[in-house]
């Protein structure tokens, strides 16, 4: 059994399993990405999201542009994505092919 580290969030998480795309925004050393990478949002709060990144290497402190899909129960066939900037706070290998990252919204 895999034990998860202690949860340090101050806000309530809500299950929100939806596909999402993200792009590494770059740094002084490396340029920004040029293509969106596919991932999956696992849960969300008003401060950030937990995502599954399927093997893509991310490091804490990296800034991403993530597109968070928004759905409405009134018109479920209309999909809107909200682009936000987020900072990678942590990365964990949960299973051999299951890498997860915690992101804190910056904007």
The predicted-structure confidence for 52-72, as pLDDT tens digits, reads as follows 987 677 899 999 999 998 876
Q: Give dist(CA 70, CA 81) in Å, integer.
A: 6
Give, as one character, the DSSP assignment of residue 27.
-
Tell me the whole-structure pTM to 2 decimals.
Answer: 0.80
Q: 84 and 66 in contact (C-beta within 8 Å)?
A: yes
Q: Of 26 and 106, which is predicted with more confidence?
A: 106
In this model, does residue 90 exceed pLDDT 60? yes
pLDDT at 28: 60
For residue 23, report the phi and psi dihedrals to the nearest 5 degrees. -140, 135
pLDDT at 107: 77
Q: What is the mean pLDDT of the chain?
A: 82
Q: 65 and 84 in contact (C-beta within 8 Å)?
A: yes
């Amino acid at each position: 059994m895999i034990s998860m580290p202690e949860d340090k969030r101050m806000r309530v998480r809500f299950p929100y399993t939806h596909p999402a795309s993200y792009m590494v925004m770059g740094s002084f050393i490396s340029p920004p990405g040029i293509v969106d990478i596919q991932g999956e949002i696992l849960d969300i709060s008003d401060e950030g999201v937990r995502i599954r990144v399927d093997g893509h290497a991310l490091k804490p402190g990296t800034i991403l542009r993530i597109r968070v899909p928004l759905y409405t129960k009134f018109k479920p066939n209309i999909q809107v994505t909200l682009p936000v900037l987020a900072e990678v706070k942590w990365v964990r290998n949960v299973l051999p092919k299951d890498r997860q990252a915690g992101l804190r919204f910056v904007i």
